[in-house]
Amino acid sequence: MSDPGWRPPMLATLTGDRFSDENWIFERKLDGVRAVCARDGGTPRLWSRNHKPIEASYPEIVDALAAHGGPRFIADGEIVAFEGEQTSFARLQQRIHLTEPTRIEATGVRVYYYLFDLLAFDGHDASRLPLRERKRLLRDAFEFTDPLRLAEHRNGDGAAYYRKACASGWEGVIAKRADSPYHGGRSRDWLKFKCVADQEFVVGGFTDPAGSRVGFGALLLGYYEGDRLRYAGKVGTGYDVSTLRSLRARLEDLRQDDPPFAEPVPERGYWVRPELVIQVGFTEWTEEGRLRHPRYTGLREDKRAAEVVREA
């Protein structure tokens, strides 16, 4: 942890239990990029959840943190872009990998940083305080002017909020134990209620394109079960021509002779080192453990392949 201010983010666990409890708070699940921000008297810093610096990709957020936060803080939040009223990871993809201001501006994609937790402020560690207290401190620690926004929450009535989330087309709801401290890593003090089926997968291979298509036909996907990469099926939709070409170039650099999967794969294709992580939406899992109607939604540079497991 060589970067001053960096803290491993606290991560939610997926659950199928939708509940209401006065000892929990409930927030909208945002479809964006997790980001920890910190400042120690100088220019604010931004990191992805796997500790990659991302200030250059979001200069307007860095400027806003400098203008509307104190001289010393550590906070947690989510960077998002909107498609209409919905947060859209696919739209955010248009500028995730850009670092040149002129190219960023040319995309026309506006981003917002929703802050939902405060880990430290003015030299004082807040991570051991109960979540509700951290929320109160967060509200006073920043001036919330776009692109900085405060992530609102609801107390107690999680089941009704989940129904509202799904009816509104949101990703879902994050439930958080109101008296919990902040600690890095996966926790059952934070839970995910998902309205849609989507998760990250590791790319283990690809197939040839057919007809006039460029790049590749489909990506062959897997997830880890212990140290074994289990085959989850293929995804052949959701790409534009630019994505097909750029991903094919990345795949060529990862080519290997042997399949990385733990079981035989019915598809004929090419194998790659299991390092690329992508986000995929789908309708359900089949009885055979394959994805039904999968669709590519974006590349995840903020998650290591070894962390990708089947969410259940």
Active-site residues: which are they?
29
| Calpha distance 83→112 (Å, rounded) | 13
**8 Å CB contact between 31 and 83:** no
> What letter would DSSP give residue 41?
S
**8 Å CB contact between 147 and 109:** no
Q: What is the rounded end-to-end Cα distance, in angstroms, of the chain?
A: 31
The residue length of the chain stands at 312
Residue with tokens 């939708």: 18
**8 Å CB contact between 256 and 270:** no
Q: Residue 230's Cα: distance from chain center in Å? A: 22
Helix ranges restricted to H, 170-295: 241-252
Neighbouring residues of 135: CB distance < 8 A, sequence distance ≥ 6: 25, 117, 118, 153
Per-residue tokens: 49: 């959840």
**8 Å CB contact between 57 and 99:** yes
Q: State residue 190 phi and psi, 5-degree precision.
A: -120, 130
Per-residue tokens: 16: 């199928």
Per-residue tokens: 174: 């994050």
Three-class DSSP category at 151: coil
Q: State residue 284 phi and psi, 5-degree precision.
A: -170, 170
